[in-house]
Chain A
Amino acid sequence: AQRVTQPEKLLSVFKGAPVELKCNYSYSGSPELFWYVQYSRQRLQLLLRHISRESIKGFTADLNKGETSFHLKKPFAQEEDSAMYYCALDIDGNKLVFGAGTILRVKS
Chain B
Amino acid sequence: GAGVSQSPRYKVAKRGQDVALRCDPISGHVSLFWYQQALGQGPEFLTYFQNEAQLDKSGLPSDRFFAERPEGSVSTLKIQRTQQEDSAVYLCASSPLAGGVHGEQFFGPGTRLTVL
Report A's interface with B, CB cutoff 8 A.
Answer: 4, 6, 32, 34, 36, 43-46, 49, 51, 86, 88, 90, 92-101
Contact = CB atoms under 8 A, between A and B. Distances in A.
23 contacts: A32-B102, A36-B107, A43-B108, A45-B106, A49-B104, A88-B42, A90-B102, A92-B99, A93-B100, A94-B48, A94-B55, A95-B48, A95-B59, A96-B33, A96-B35, A96-B43, A96-B105, A98-B44, A99-B42, A100-B40, A100-B41, A100-B42, A101-B42
B56 interface: yes
Contacts of A6: 42
B9 to A, nearest CB: 11
Interface in B27-47: 33, 35, 40-45
**Interface of B (DSSP majority class):** loop
B103 to A, nearest CB: 7
A95 B56 contact: yes
Interface residues of B, number: 29
B109 to A, nearest CB: 5
Interface of B: 3-4, 33, 35, 40-45, 48, 55-56, 59, 91, 97-110
Given A90-B102, A92-B100, A93-B101, A45 B45 contact: no
Contacts of A97: 45
A48 B102 CA distance: 13
Given A6-B42, A93-B97, A95-B48, 7 more contacts: A34-B104, A43-B109, A44-B43, A92-B100, A94-B100, A96-B45, A100-B40
A45 B105 CA distance: 8
A43 B30 CA distance: 20
Contacts of A45: 106-107
